[in-house]
Structures are given as structure tokens and as C-alpha cells.
Structure 1
Amino acid sequence: MPPRQIPLTPLQHTSGRQAATCEFRCGNACAQPVPNRSDNPYFGDVVAASATRRAVVTTGLTAAVLGTGATLLPESAAAATTGGRQGSAAAAAEELEGRRRRPRAKAPFGFTAIEPQPAGTDELDVPDGFSWHAIIAWGDPLFRGTPRFDVDRQSASAQRRQFGYNCDYVGLLPTRNPHRAVLVVNHEYTNDNLMFEGYTGPDSLTDDQLEIIQAAHGMSVVEVRRRNGTSGWTYVQGARLNRRIHTGTRFTFDGPGAGSDLLRTSADPDGTSSLGTLNNCAGGTTPWGTVLSGEENFNQYFVEPGTGTAEQTAAWERYGIAGSTGRGWERIDPRFDLGQEPNEANRLGWVVEIDPLDPHSTPVKHTAMGRFKHEGANVTVDDDGSVVAYMGDDERFDYMYKFVSHRRYRKGNSWRARRHNKQLLSSGDLYVARFTGDGAQDRVNDGTGEWIPLVVDNRSKVPGMNVEEVLVHTRLAADKVGPTKMDRPEDVEVNPVNGRVYAALTNNSRRTAAEIDEANPRPDNRHGHVLEITPTRGEHVRSTFSWKLVLIAGDPDDPGTYFNGYDRSEVSSISCPDNVAFDGEGNLWIATDGNALGDADGMYLMPLEGREKGHLQRFLSVPAYAECCGPLITFDQRSVLAAIQHPGESDAATYASPASLFPYKGDPCPRPGVVEVRPDRRKRTRDRRRGHGRGRRQGDQSQR
């Protein structure tokens, strides 16, 4: 029987994503009711109710009068700000060509910004003077005796010993040997239609195929090596630290929520351990050499029976589980049927910590850090030794959080210090953020904020909820204390050079003109923005801060965009910031997901200080329909790593007719993986002589 295309939900997808991405990534979250139905006032409501009724400015030339819902934008600027491209393919093509004709930006950083390429172009593009190679990709064997990848001969037993599917977070930990390191990667979800021939939906999958899909989720730990400081990283099959974490890996719960009635199941009546981690998105590396990973869109894997208690139903609705029909996993694993195991969903949505340097260690789920759709978690050590973690809840109108440890960090790499530090996230205080704008006078989107306590000194600060309820149902708890509803807060990280915090807010097409505020200044926000937080007196433990938007993304020709004050005529276009990272000089690197301008996603550099502050430049463009994840500037500052997630994730793509063949090694299917980009001028010269251009796709380019 000829293969059929995936039966995608007939919906209008408002971002640059394909419908297939929405189907497999998050269970069509954008088409579902917004889970946050709390009546928390938007900042705009508060201002409108005040006597002054101050206007809030979208930096640049964009302004909105709060309380009336009227926007003071020229019609053309309003269309650009909301992602409008005049509604026709011809107009879209004209706009794209216009961006390509923009004069080339200055190149003070050792590269000239590359031009945008259409989202369907199956090339990985990097600047002149750089080259890229794939370090590892889906199916590569991690252990001795593991079979090589063969898309036509997959098995669950092999997949549990091979590199997993879609990659998001990328971490690289140094070792005592400067030419060896440990690579840690999340495997967020799978594209079932590209993995198996004849896929028409979950019911078309065999039990064996479902087991393969489960095994492809989770995380991989892989040793990598290089010949010298100028050569690229390659992975080492059979290395001592190699490890696959999947849906059958045992985790333990720690913190105040461990043992809660809300975590108990028939397989774990004590509520202290669980199997597997799912939909792991971003993450972070700790100062003590472990890796944190965030469990994000776990809701889509469960079948919701619609017959739970009032408390269960409220939680299922708030976490986007209500009405879920699952991925078919309940057929082989009853824990994914909430009618049989109503608490199983409570065992996902946590920050997990793994020790890449100990392959026999048991990963931990930290209940003290709260449960929501974690994009990730990143920590910093404050001056008093407290460890502070910042986190985003990746959902429209959800919140940003902060965790402060009770115990203090111990310096050093001794086993005693490391054992102590691995307990730091087990006990601490949890807060949620409220942002207040300072009005239009300074023509900048900025203001002050406060961290509202949820749990302090192991005591609940939320009326009507105990500590366990606050930590397991953190979204419901936060709703009660009035934080600011944000535009999909994703990766939140501390800049190690200037000590400030940067949050990627990807988009929010559901925000109306009446709901805008100074921290989320655009209605129908298709392109997102980046927010900078400056802790009071530079101390992250403090409960107050100041903030500013340093990037309002979109087409630079749109006067509503903002690049930290830099000339918009000299910057690259950018849409949907997702992940952030920093190099040794404190420059901001941004990876995007879901470009709503029609361009391929990619990686960008934006300085935060000096003459070039705000000079955003496109550094990398990913293959057809892929997402750029990571990013990571290696610890020696010699190269950049990126995860190429869901290449070929086109609505029209199938197993038999792929839209991408990344990483171009002769396989008949796309294989998500991790790439390294590094300076290589001699190779660039050879490539140009051979007609390969600027380091684009390499390897076998034949089609199936």
C-alpha cells in the first residue's frame, strides 16, 4: 500500500512552523484553549485603571494606548509587526527579496552575516571562512556491539543503545584531557511519519514501532575527542561515559514533593521513583559538572479519561492534558492512560539532573523547583554562595520562575564538595515573576519587577495550598499570586560576564491589543522578543530587579522592531528567539524556532556592550524545515555547537518522500543531530574552487 501523509489537523498555524511540527512537538498546543484562564490582571489592565493611564511604548515608533485596545501604528507598520506579509505569495516573495537586497552589515566579529534562505531550502549555511561537520546523528551507535543505523531495520533494543531522535539542549563538559570532553544532548520528541513507512497516525504503528519511538526519547551522554585544538570534535563509540537515558531509565524524586500522594502510582506506591524523562527541551550545565534538563510538552503523551476528581480535572486543564488522546503509547504501557494511572502525569514536568561523569548514577527529578512545562533551568552562584536557578514555562500567557537554594555552594572538585553540591537543588525557595513598566517617557520598554514567593523555608505562601500541592501543581499555585502573563518564556540564562539574566520570549499570537503590557508590547506577537533582567545590586537572591527589552524581533524594515538601539538598516532579520547562549566576551547568541518571516531558522550573534551593542548578525541557517537548537560556544571558545532538530519536518514530507537528507551522509532519510561550526579558511577556499559555496550541505545529495 502506498504511504499516506500524516493526517494533520486542518488548522491555520500562525507561526512559521509547519503543521507537522505543531502535531508532533506539542500536540497542537496553539490550536487548544489557552491553559491559563486565571483572572490575573494584565499590566495594561492595571495601568488603564489608574488615574494617570500612562501610555506604554513599543520601542522604536510603535505605541499602544492601554485600556482602549487601540494601537497607534501606521497600517503598514501594524501589518509587519503582527507578521502580516500582505497575504499573497507574490508579496511574501517580494519582501524576502527586499531583505536580501539590504546592504551587507559591517563585520566586526570575524564574519559577515549570511543572507536569509527560504525555510524549505535543504542546506546548512555558515559564513565565509567557516565550515561545519556533524558530530553525531540519530541512530549512531554509542556502545561496542551496537549495530550501525539502518532506517529499514530499526529495533527498540538497538535504539536504546543508539543516539536518540530530535536534539534540543547541547552541553559540552571539559575533562582533564583538553582534547576530550563529554557531550550531553536532549532528545525532545520524534517525527513518527519520517521514521516509518506507511505512517497514517498512531493507530498505524505496530507495538514494536511504538517501543522504538519510546526508546528514541530521552537523553544521550557521549564522549567526544579531537586530535588538537584546531581540529573538530568527533564522538567515541564504546567510551566509558557513554550512556542512553530513555523511557525505561529509573529516576528518583527528591525535595519536599517526594513521597507525596500526588506522585504515587500502582508501580510506585511510595511516590519516590519514576521511569524515564519525556519531551526534554533546553537545559543547563551546573558549576559542579552535572546537567539540568527541562521536561516540557509531556501532556500530549497521555490519554485523559475525562472522569477524574475535581482536583485532577483542574490540574489536567491547567497543564493542557484535558482532552488529550495521546500518542498511542497507552497500548503498550498503561501508565500513559490516566484512567488507569491518574497521577502518572504528575511525574513529568520537572527539572531533572544527571551526572554525565558517573554512568552508573541515578538521575534525579527536583520537586523543590516546581512542576510546569519547563523549557529548561540554568543556575548561577550568588556572592553569598546561594545557587539561583532561572526557569521559563513555555506556554502562551505563562510565567517566569526563580529558585534559590537553602544550602551554599562549595568550591572545588573533590568528591565531598561534589556530593554536597549535587544536593543543592533538593531544597530551596521558589518564586514567580511580576513585571511593571515605567511608562512611555524614556521611549524604552523597561521597568522594575519583583519575585513573588510560592514556597519559602519549606512553607507554602499560596493561600489554600500546602507545599506539596504548590510544587506538583505549580501553575495553579502561581495563578493565585498575580504574576505577569508572558509571551512563551523559553530559555532563561545568566550572562557570566555582566551577571544579567536574558530570557527568550518566542511569540504569542493569542495576545490582543487590550492585553499588551510593557514587557509584552505587541498584540498578535508573531516574532517574539528578548528580555534582560538586572538583579538589584547585582545579587540574584534579592526579590526585586529592573528589566529591559533588548530585542524586539522581526523584519528590521518594521519600525516596531528594536535592536538595543542599533541602526535597524544594518542588522539581520530575526523571528522567534528560542534559546540563548553567551561567548567568553558576554555576547548574546540566539537560536530561533518557527521563523514567521518565511525564512529558515538559524543562529545569531548580538553584542550587549560597546559600539556594536545590538548589532545582530545571522551566523547560521539550518536545513529544510529544521529548528536551530543549542546553541553552545565551546569552553575553549574555538567553535560553536548547534543541534539540528526535526530536519525535513514538512507537511508534505513522508518516509518515502523526505524534504531533507541532513546530514548528507547518503542516508535515505533525515537524521537529526549535532553539528560543530569552526573557522577553516583553507577548507573554505577549497570549497569555493569546487563550487560548494559557503559551507552549505555536504555529503550525498541524492534523493530517494
Structure 2
Amino acid sequence: MPESAPRRRMLPLIGGVGGGRSAKTCLYRCGNACFHPEPNKSDNAYFGDIFQGVLSRRSALKGALVGGGAGALGLAALSPAAADRGPGRPHPSPRPTFKNVLPNNRDEVSVPEGYDHHVIVRWGDPVLPDAPEFDFENQTAEAQAKQFGYNCDYVGFFTLDDERGLLWVNHEYTNEELMFAGYSGGAEADLEWIRVAMAAHGGSIVELERVDGTGQWRLVTEGERPFNRRITADTPFRIAGPAAGHELLRTEADPEGVLARGTINNCAGGMTPWGTVLSGEENFHQYFVGAPDNEATSRYGLSTGYSGRRWDRVDERFDLARHPNEVNRFGYIVEIDPHDPDSTPVKRTMLGRFKHEGANVNLTEDGRVAAYMGDDERFDYIYKFVSDKKYVEGSHKHNMTLLDTGTLYVARLEGNSPAEEIDGTGALPSDGEFDGTGEWLPLCSDTESFVEGFSVAEVLIHTRLAADKVGATKMDRPEDFEPSPVTGKVYCALTNNSAREPGQADEPNPRGPNKYGHILEIIEDGADSAATTFSWIVPIVCGDPEDDSTYYAGFDKSKVMPISAPDNLTFDKHGNLWISTDGQPGSLGMNDSLHVVPVEGRFRGELRTFATVPVEAETCGPLVTKDQKTVFLAPQHPGENGTAEEPTSLWPDGDFPRPSVVCAWHKGGRDVGT
């Protein structure tokens, strides 16, 4: 490895960054997908626009952010005591009453008064007992494969007992310019740097221990730590489900098409009732070079030239001119058993192949499993899988087969208001809601294709093409799904889509272009996740509350906080929805945040801000523990617009930026977020 260039320390930059996401996020996360024509060329209907309105108080808001103040937001009205407690609206769960964290551009994690937080684990911290200590200047692939990986997105937490637990963390992608001094692109990068980046992908399992009976958790650093594990871009994976063994999955290294190497660009995920993690392979397209020019590769955004990462320089399987089927082995939901460190992770082909944000499951009325999934691309779709077999509590071997047989669906949505009432400005129709009905269109079961011209395996490998053909509804970067543990309703984060034109607006697309994103609520018919029809509502249309085109489920907007680019979702045990963001610096001029909002009762729509993350970081995770004493969040890519030589963030330790996982808790022992 060449001698590292000296690094110059500098203070974090103050102020927002251009665009919704930063240029570095676009480059490293998705290979600048939004700067290329959308892969979806179908004539299918659209879903989910947000008007690119001009914020009425943008300049005042920016001034408040830089100074850490709040005058422009009318924060006196944000006091819990000031909210409308009018009669006639039920109040089924505790209402969040913590004091809002105000919008800011500070290089730190901020939590409400009465709370504390702790950095649990950072990029490079030892995971395996024989891992070396992190050495920023002299990192090696061998060391990185035993240490905590880079950008941390989804987190899952499994309790072992009252005092111990296992934390799973996705490592979505790498920011090489922050990792290596002197990095200028994959074509010229030192080969060891590329190997380090590959080892920094995947995921980590680490054991945690509770601190003094509080909501604080810390990394276990002594002893054998038998559960600790690293999953990387080179870890063996079993390919399961109906597509396993198909000729499109066979390679020179795996002529049977049943054993893949590695998982990449793991974004969101979920935990199953049988104690495993489901992790989504999202922007896998950017790691490959030399794709043939055909319908299948263009629909997934694959490049016929060379990618910026140039992994093909150290592993030829990423050169599709030499190994054309290798890319077909990525883009799945992968399942990992954190309780068995010797188990082989599995790629579940029955859940389809696309840019999976993640998967979250709900049990049907008769005990089967429904998995909800979003395809994170402009103008792409939302999906559902329903298993054939029923979940059996305590039967791990049986439950590990549930995701291999069943039916895969894609959604079509329709509004219920006259077209002339939806003018693209975000003005509500006469019935007072953006709402309508929907249908789950079957794509295939494990034994039968319902798409003309596609076999079962072809539906599962070329899922986007199959969904195009049945007329699914185009959506605006559908990301995380989360079922409510209280009502069973299912929620989806639609992050944004500034490419949507105003004329493409309809009821489920109330504004165009969509700069700020929105939330979708799905109510399955009969309250059964096995249903093939549903109703839907858009309860939150994001943006500045003072913008007339925003909507917070009808709640008084003078008493809510701003939100943009909703990304990951979770629920607490009381049924309140937690929303993390990815893009507020560019769209609203403030650091990304973690928000909490009731979705039932008279305070439905009263959105509050629980936390903010450091400069240029994205708020990932989040997860509220079952006892509601802890919130885990994972700020990834702090200081993303800087370099190793000139960092724009020094979080968390004051020397160079390190993606990390944080826990927050109430110092008085109260449930978090209440």
C-alpha cells in the first residue's frame, strides 16, 4: 500500500448541502442512478408525487439553523401543552411529549432534554476476538474482515436475556474518499484499498451488555463472544427458492447455481418471528462492469462500461463481459441467523430480485407470513410475498423454509376522487384525504407463473420486467415498510422523486416533482395481510409545515416539526411511528433527523423530532427495543462531502469521521419517546 498522505484536521462545515442527497451519497450509494434516465420505461400508472414548493420561510429557517436557534419555526407553538386536545378523538396510546430537538447543523448526535446517548460501536472496532485494533493509516482487508464494517444502515436487536443481546448491523456501502488518504477513484486505487472496501460491506453481529439496568447498552469486549460475526462481500451464501439452480444463476465458479459469494449494498431489513434477520441487497448494479446491452440489464441500471469502484480489478466475477450471470446472483433479500455463527446465510429468490430496500413481515390471520418490500428506484414498485406454509412457534427448522414457497405480488393503486380535484399542487380533494383502493397483482407462486412469457424463475430473476408487464403502479423510491404492532396497518416511506413532472400527478401522486417525500398507509381488507385488495391513505406529505402543500394527517401544522426524505421506519410498543430521514440537508437545510408521530387517535399527525445526527450524516436504523427503554440509531457517512485529508465532520471522536451505532435512553428510566 502506498504511504498515506498527511491529513489536515478542519472544523465541520456549517450549512446545508446542495440537492436532496449530497453528490457523494449519489455517487457511492447508488452510482448516480438519479442522474441517468429512470430504468422503468413502462406505461404503468404513477404513484406518489410531492410538489417542489418554494419554502415560505427558507431564508429565515437557514438563519435559525446556523445559529442553532428556533425562532423561525414558531417553537412556542410546538410545546406539548399547546396541542389541540379537542373532544371526540380517541387517544389509544401514550402521546410523545418530549421536548423537540430543534433543527440544526451541529456535528453531533442531539437527543431531547432528559435523555442521554452513547456510541456503541464504530467503523473499525474489533468484532472477532482475534481482530486487530483499528489503524486508520494502515488498514488491510484481513483486518477489516474481522472489524466492524463501514456505513451502518439497518439495525436489528435480539435479546439473549435481560442483560445481554445481539446487534445486527447492515454495512450498506463505502466512502473510499473518507477511508483512504489520496483516493481518486477505483481505476487508480491501490488494490488493497479495493479489498478493504469489499471487506467493509455486508454486516456485523456483535454482542451487547446492558449498563447498570438502564436503557444504555455497550459492546462486549472481553471473552470469547461466540456470536460475533462478520458477513462480507466474500461470505458464502446458499441460494434458495424456486430460482435456485436456474441457468441464469449458474457461473463458472458455481456451475449448479446454488452457492453465491457475498452480499452487497445492504440497506434496510427486518427481524422475523423465528429470530433471523432479513437484509435487502439494494443498489447492486454499481459494482459491475461490462454489462451486455439488453432489456434485462438496462432495466436494472447496469453499466455497459466501467463503474467507479472497479471491483473487477481484484475479482473478475464483477466483470460481466467474462461472467454475465454473476449479477443475477445479487438483488435479493438475504436471511441471516444471528444465533448460529456457523450457519450459512441464504438468498431468498422467492421474494424477487430488484433493488430491495428491505423486508418486514406480518403474520396473516391463519398464521402464514406476509413480507412487504419496496424497490428503491424512481418510478418503481411495492411488493408483497405471502407464504404457503404457516409459522410454527418454536420450530426453527420449519420456519427457515417459509420464505421459499408462496406467492409474490406487486401493487396497483387507484384514487377515489375526480381527476379535476387533483391539480398537482397538493391541495386536498373535496373528501379531505388523498386515499383510494389497491390490488395485489400476483406475479408467480413457487410452482406457477402468472406473467405471460415468463417462467417462475424468470419472474424471480427479472422481477422488474415481470411487474412492468402486469401494470403495477409507479412509485417514488419506495423504501422501508413497517407493520404497526398495534393495528396491523402497514406503512411505507416514499423518499422522493424530483423527476416526476406536475402533469403526472393524480390522487396517490398529489404533487410533482416530489422533493420531500411522503408516507403511505395500507389497510389490508379484513385486516388480513393475506388479502389481495386493500385501501390506502397518504397520512403525511412531507416538507416545511408552513408550505401549504404539506399535510400532517389533518393535525394543526403550527404544532409539528419539518421533515423531508423519509427513509427508514420502526414502531414502538405503543404504536407510534418513528421515521428516520435521508436528505434533509439538501431539501430543508438542516441535519437529518429521527422523528416520532402518532398514527392513531386525536394526535395522529403530530410529528416531533427526537434526534438529529452529525454533519452530512444520514439517520439510519432506527429501532426501539421491546421494553421501550432504548432507541438504536446508526448515523452513516458523517462528513460525506469531505475527504480523508480534509474532513467536514470529526464525529464521533474528534479525529476523523466514522459511521457508528448509537443508543439513546431516558435518564429517568421512562419509556423512550413518550
**TM-score above 0.5:** yes
Partner SS state of residue 572, structure 1? coil
2:636 to 622, 641, 645: 645
Superposed displacement of residue 204, structure 1? 3.1
Summarize deviations over 1:421-466 as a string: whole Å, max 9, x none: 0110011100000011011331200011000010035211111111
Q: Give the aligned partner of residue 167 of structure 2.
A: 183
Superposed displacement of residue 524, structure 1? 1.1
Superposed displacement of residue 324, structure 1? 5.1
Q: Give the aligned partner of residue 421 of structure 1.
A: 399
Superposed displacement of residue 95, structure 1? 9.4
Partner SS state of residue 286, structure 2? helix
Contact 1:3 1:199 survives alignment (8 Å): no
Q: Give the aligned partner of residue 416 of structure 2.
A: 438
2:252 to 266, 286, 293: 266
Q: How does 1:203-222 map to 2 (within 5 A)?
A: 203-222=187-206
Partner SS state of residue 30, structure 1? helix
Q: Give the aligned partner of residue 37 of structure 2.
A: 33
Contact 1:535 1:545 survives alignment (8 Å): yes
CA distance in 1, matches of 2:350, 2:336: 16
CA distance in 2, matches of 1:366, 1:168: 20
Summarize deviations over 1:566-613 as a string: whole Å, max 9, x none: 100000000000011000110000000011111110100000122221
Q: 1:91 to 1:186 in 2, by over 3 A?
A: closer
Contact 1:174 1:635 survives alignment (8 Å): no
Q: How does 1:266-345 map to 2 (within 5 A)?
A: 266-306=252-292, 313-323=294-304, 325-326=306-307, 327-345=309-327
CA distance in 1, matches of 2:201, 2:367: 35
Contact 1:605 1:616 survives alignment (8 Å): yes
CA distance in 2, matches of 1:43, 1:628: 25
1:586 to 554, 572, 575: 575
CA distance in 2, matches of 1:347, 1:418: 26
CA distance in 1, matches of 2:643, 2:281: 28
State yes or no: 1:159 paired with 2:140: no
Q: How does 1:328-367 map to 2 (within 5 A)?
A: 328-367=310-349
- Identify unmatched segments of 5+ residues in structure 1: 6-12, 45-57, 59-77, 683-704
Contact 1:170 1:183 survives alignment (8 Å): yes
Please tell me the residue identity of whatever aligns with 1:31: F
Superposed displacement of residue 656, structure 1? 1.4
CA distance in 2, matches of 1:502, 1:633: 16
More displaced stretch, 86-95 vs 139-148: 86-95
Q: 1:3 to 1:346 in 2, by over 3 A?
A: farther
Partner SS state of residue 203, structure 2? strand
CA distance in 2, matches of 1:166, 1:227: 26
Contact 1:607 1:616 survives alignment (8 Å): yes
Please tell me the residue identity of whatever aligns with 1:496: P
Q: How does 1:445-524 map to 2 (within 5 A)?
A: 445-456=434-445, 458-524=447-513
Q: 1:462 to 1:393 in 2, by over 3 A?
A: same
Q: How does 1:59-74 map to 2 (within 5 A)?
A: none
CA distance in 1, matches of 2:46, 2:165: 46
CA distance in 1, matches of 2:65, 2:439: 41
State yes or no: 1:247 paired with 2:245: no
Contact 1:435 1:519 survives alignment (8 Å): yes
Q: 1:88 to 1:324 in 2, by over 3 A?
A: farther
Contact 1:249 1:276 survives alignment (8 Å): yes
Q: Give the aligned partner of residue 606 of structure 1.
A: 597
CA distance in 1, matches of 2:31, 2:47: 30
Q: 1:164 to 1:471 in 2, by over 3 A?
A: same
CA distance in 2, matches of 1:86, 1:112: 25
Q: 1:167 to 1:448 in 2, by over 3 A?
A: same
Summarize deviations over 1:147-200 as a string: whole Å, max 9, x none: 11110121111100000000000000111x211011000000011000001111
Please tell me the residue identity of whatever aligns with 1:410: V
CA distance in 1, matches of 2:304, 2:188: 21
Please tell me the residue identity of whatever aligns with 1:247: A
Q: 1:90 to 1:285 in 2, by over 3 A?
A: closer
Contact 2:168 2:205 survives alignment (8 Å): yes
Partner SS state of residue 203, structure 1? coil
State yes or no: 1:111 paired with 2:89: no
Please tell me the residue identity of whatever aligns with 1:645: Q
Summarize deviations over 1:398-429 as a string: whole Å, max 9, x none: 00000000111102x3xxx1110011001110
Contact 1:434 1:449 survives alignment (8 Å): yes
CA distance in 1, matches of 2:47, 2:285: 29
More displaced stretch, 342-351 vs 318-327: 318-327
Partner SS state of residue 491, structure 1? strand
2:54 to 81, 84, 90: 84
Please tell me the residue identity of whatever aligns with 1:140: D
Q: Give the aligned partner of residue 635 of structure 1.
A: 626
Contact 2:53 2:549 survives alignment (8 Å): no
Superposed displacement of residue 88, structure 1? 9.2
State the TM-score, normalized to the length of structure 2.
Answer: 0.90
Please tell me the residue identity of whatever aligns with 1:605: V
Superposed displacement of residue 657, structure 1? 1.4
Please tell me the residue identity of whatever aligns with 2:633: A
Q: How does 1:127-142 map to 2 (within 5 A)?
A: 127-142=112-127
Superposed displacement of residue 535, structure 1? 0.4
Superposed displacement of residue 99, structure 1? 3.7
Q: 1:430 to 1:99 in 2, by over 3 A?
A: farther
State yes or no: 1:399 paired with 2:381: yes
Question: Percent identity between the aligned chains?
Answer: 52
Summarize deviations over 1:630-683 as a string: whole Å, max 9, x none: 110012110111011101101xx110111112212x5x211101000111269x
CA distance in 2, matches of 1:457, 1:275: 24
Partner SS state of residue 262, structure 1? helix
CA distance in 1, matches of 2:398, 2:627: 27
Q: Give the aligned partner of residue 554 of structure 1.
A: 543
Please tell me the residue identity of whatever aligns with 1:281: C
Contact 1:142 1:236 survives alignment (8 Å): no
Q: CA RMSD in A?
A: 2.2
Please tell me the residue identity of whatever aligns with 1:106: S
Partner SS state of residue 475, structure 1? helix
CA distance in 1, matches of 2:522, 2:400: 27
Q: 1:230 to 1:353 in 2, by over 3 A?
A: same
Superposed displacement of residue 43, structure 1? 7.4
Contact 2:96 2:596 survives alignment (8 Å): no
Superposed displacement of residue 383, structure 1? 1.6
2:25 to 21, 35, 53: 21
Summarize deviations over 1:91-146 as a string: whole Å, max 9, x none: 9548986644443513352411111013xx31211111111111111000012231
- Identify unmatched segments of 5+ residues in structure 2: 9-16, 81-94, 418-428, 670-674
Contact 1:626 1:648 survives alignment (8 Å): yes
Contact 1:528 1:577 survives alignment (8 Å): yes
Partner SS state of residue 335, structure 1? helix
Partner SS state of residue 296, structure 2? helix
Partner SS state of residue 663, structure 2? strand
Superposed displacement of residue 3, structure 1? 8.0
Please tell me the residue identity of whatever aligns with 1:282: A
Partner SS state of residue 460, structure 1? coil
Q: 1:591 to 1:252 in 2, by over 3 A?
A: same
Structure 1 stretches of at least 4 aligned residues deviating more than 3 Å after TM superposition:
1-5, 41-44, 83-102
